[in-house]
Structure formats: structure tokens, C-alpha cells
């Protein structure tokens, strides 16, 4: 049995898909157990090859019921806490980044600036296991009663600094509706009221607010059947990449070089407010010039232009690509 730790969120699990597929290929006859939050089980099913999910709440020790695993794989972090959590299961081998603090000298060195997908593929390559960073496609979601062909706007996100201003999402929703898009708003149950305010400001009907009304499996089905997704740097953007759904992703303060979709897929467009914030800081001290917050530097018109580019790429490519 191979125990894999990735006890994080939707985007984190989606970014680990190539590494998880590599582990499945490298250990074809072993049970592959993913230690992750139980609510991520529907997404784990869409990765494929994961035999079961061991419910794990962050770095709290999971209730490990069986004999020591043959190997434990840390796809969670650099350590030391995550290394120690896996070591407590007494695995035959620990596959992880080198961590002197955890007493683990094996493994490659951590690189803070590395793209999240490539980071975990590089870890597997160190241990002579296969992993293709381009292997991001998710399995088809189960049938669900969700609208097809809609444009999904996701104003929220668990990290407030990664949220584009709500009034701009409202303006974007109005403009897209005027251009023939059927706009819906997604988010968590906690974000439902905020999504409803965006819908009200945009003149959308109440039934356009799907925030808090879709489980993870339904959200995946919604994205897979959508015309377009616009969001900040959060989990739903990774679902769009996994399903080849046209998307525009707004970044700031974290750079897309660490979490963005593959740059060679033109149906996924990135607007990098983080990069502009860095440029503006270079000009501090020049009279009349002030640094701008990253996401606030992205205008509605820029997003509309990126939407047009993404949809043009879909028309040119024809069939949906993952």
C-alpha cells in the first residue's frame, strides 16, 4: 500500500493530478491511499487511480488503521510537520523533499518559485517514478442537474487578497450578459450573500446565484459543461484547466508562474495583476507615481478582451481539449 499526503484544497489536489497519476503508474499493483479532507473525495474520484481517501484534517494525524505502508509520499509540503506526520505511519520508505529539520536527508531540494505542478513531478522523477506535468485532464464528472453552456463567474475565494473587486465582477456580468452570455455565480455557502449582491448589482435573476447550492461533484459537472469560467486564483480555475473549459484567471498577489494554467493552452487566459504590482513598486519615489494593488490593476475591459481571446481559441481549435 502507498500512502500519499495532500491534505489541502481543490486547486491543490488538481495541481497534484500528474504526480498522482505517476504514482499510479509507478505502483500499478499497490493500493493507493490519499490522505486528504473527506469533502475532496468527489474530486479524488475524478483524478482516477486513487483507491480510497483517508480523511485527514490538515496536518492533524489521520487515524491510520492498518499495517505500515510500503511507502509514504509527501505531496503536501516541504516539511518538517508533513514529513513527521507520514513518518508516524512507519512507512518502509518516505518519498519527500529533503528536510534537515525532519531528519530526512533524501529527496531533492525545495524551490519556492517552482510551479506547483512541476514541483511534485520533479519529486517523483527524483525517485525514478514517471510523471507528466501536462497530464492535467480530469475524468468526466458524473451526471448532475446543472445548466450547460453557461458562463461561470466565481467572485469569491478563501484568500481575500486573491479576490477581484466585487463591483468589477458585477460590471463584467452585465457586459457579458449584453453580449449573449448566460451568466451564473458560484461560490461556497459562506459566499452566497456576497454572490447575491454581485448578481443584484448586475441585474441578474436570483436563480443565477449557484453559490452554496452545488457540491464538489456538481461544481465539476457545471465547469465541464460551461462555456467559460472567470475567476481569481482559486480551485475552480484548476477545474477549468482539467476540463479544457475556456477560462480567464485573474492573478495577484501570487504569480501565475507558480499556480497558473499551462501557458501553451490559449483557451486558458491569465491576467497578471501581481506582475503589475511589482512593476509599479519599481517606480516608487517618482513624483506622482504610486504602487497599485495587484488585482485592482486589472480592468473590466481587459477581462472582456481576454474572454474574447479565449473564446476565439476555442473556435480555432474546434473540439474541446483537456
Helix (H) or strand (E) holding 291: none
CA distance 159 to 8: 14
CA distance 37 to 301: 38
**151-154 vs 93-95, strand pairing mode:** unpaired
Look at residue 58 in the predicted model and tell me its pLDDT: 87
Mean pLDDT across the stretch 63-84? 93
Indicate the pLDDT class of residue 177, thresholds 50, 70 and 90: very high
Mean pLDDT across the stretch 144-162? 92
Q: Residues 278-303, buried b or exposed e (16+ Cβ, 10 A)?
A: eebeeeeeeeeeeebebbebbebeeb
Mean pLDDT across the stretch 142-151? 94
This prediction has a pTM of 0.92
Question: C-alpha cell of 315?
Answer: 473556435
143-147, 170-174, 225-229, range with the lowest pLDDT: 143-147
pLDDT cut 90: percent of the chain above it: 83
Question: How buried is residue 160: exposed, middle or buried, by Cβ count under 10 Å (0-12/13-18/19+)?
Answer: exposed
Question: C-alpha cell of 185?
Answer: 455565480
Task: Name the residue with higher pLDDT: 226 or 273.
Answer: 226
Q: Taking 80 as the threshold, does the pLDDT of residue 44 lie above it?
A: yes
Mean pLDDT across the stretch 39-59? 95
CA distance 153 to 184: 6
Question: How buried is residue 131: exposed, middle or buried, by Cβ count under 10 Å (0-12/13-18/19+)?
Answer: buried
CA distance 255 to 87: 32
Indicate the pLDDT class of residue 320, thresholds 50, 70 and 90: very low
Instruction: State the chain's mean pLDDT as an integer.
Output: 92
Residues paired with residue 152 on neighbouring β-strands, in sequence order: 184, 229
Domain covering 2-126 in this structure, CATH number: 3.40.50.2000
**71-74 vs 151-154, strand pairing mode:** unpaired
CA distance 16 to 37: 15
Domain covering 151-317 in this structure, CATH number: 3.40.50.2000
Mean pLDDT across the stretch 140-150? 94
Question: C-alpha cell of 114?
Answer: 517552482
Mean pLDDT across the stretch 226-243? 97
Give the 3-state secondary structure of residue 281: helix
- Let me know: does 144 contact 226? Beta carbons within 8 Å: no
Question: In the chain, where does the domain assigned CATH 3.40.50.2000 lie?
Answer: 2-126, 151-317
- Let me know: does 124 contact 23? Beta carbons within 8 Å: yes
Q: How many CB atoms lie within 10 A of CB 55?
A: 14
Length reported for the chain: 322
User: C-alpha angle with apex 96: 37 to 22, nearest 5 degrees?
Assistant: 75
Amino acid at each position: 500500500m502507498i500512502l500519499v499526503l495532500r491534505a489541502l484544497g481543490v486547486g491543490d489536489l488538481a495541481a497534484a493530478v500528474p504526480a498522482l497519476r505517476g504514482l499510479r503508474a509507478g505502483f500499478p499493483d499497490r493500493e493507493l491511499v490519499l490522505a486528504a479532507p473527506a469533502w475532496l473525495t468527489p474530486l479524488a474520484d475524478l483524478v482516477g487511480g486513487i483507491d480510497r481517501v483517508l480523511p485527514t484534517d490538515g496536518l492533524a494525524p489521520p487515524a491510520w488503521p492498518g499495517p505500515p505502508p510500503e511507502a509514504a509520499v509527501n505531496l503536501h509540503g516541504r516539511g518538517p510537520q508533513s514529513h513527521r506526520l507520514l513518518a508516524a505511519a512507519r512507512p518502509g520508505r518516505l518519498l519527500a523533499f529533503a528536510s534537515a529539520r525532519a531528519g530526512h536527508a533524501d529527496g531533492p531540494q525545495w524551490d519556492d518559485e517552482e510551479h506547483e505542478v512541476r514541483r511534485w513531478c520533479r519529486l517523483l522523477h527524483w525517485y525514478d517514478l514517471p510523471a507528466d506535468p501536462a497530464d492535467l485532464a480530469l475524468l468526466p464528472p458524473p451526471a448532475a442537474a446543472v445548466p450547460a453552456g453557461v458562463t461561470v463567474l466565481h467572485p469569491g475565494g478563501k484568500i481575500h487578497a486573491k479576490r477581484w473587486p466585487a463591483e468589477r465582477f458585477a460590471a463584467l456580468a452585465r457586459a457579458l450578459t449584453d453580449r449573449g452570455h448566460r451568466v451564473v455565480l458560484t461560490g461556497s455557502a459562506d459566499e452566497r450573500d456576497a454572490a447575491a449582491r454581485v448578481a443584484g448589482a448586475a441585474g441578474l435573476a436570483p436563480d443565477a446565484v449557484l453559490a452554496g447550492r452545488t457540491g464538489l461533484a456538481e461544481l465539476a459537472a457545471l465547469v465541464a459543461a460551461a462555456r467559460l469560467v472567470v475567476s481569481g486564483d482559486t480551485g475552480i480555475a484548476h477545474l477549468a484547466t482539467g476540463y479544457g473549459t475556456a477560462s480567464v484567471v485573474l492573478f495577484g498577489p501570487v504569480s501565475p508562474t507558480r499556480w497558473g494554467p499551462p501557458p501553451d493552452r490559449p483557451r486558458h487566459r491569465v491576467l497578471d495583476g501581481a506582475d503589475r504590482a511589482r512593476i509599479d513598486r519599481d517606480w516608487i519615489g517618482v513624483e506622482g507615481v504610486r504602487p497599485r494593488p495587484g488585482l485592482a490593476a486589472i480592468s473590466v475591459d481587459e477581462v472582456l478582451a481576454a474572454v474574447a481571446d479565449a473564446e476565439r481559441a476555442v473556435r480555432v481549435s474546434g473540439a474541446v481539449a483537456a
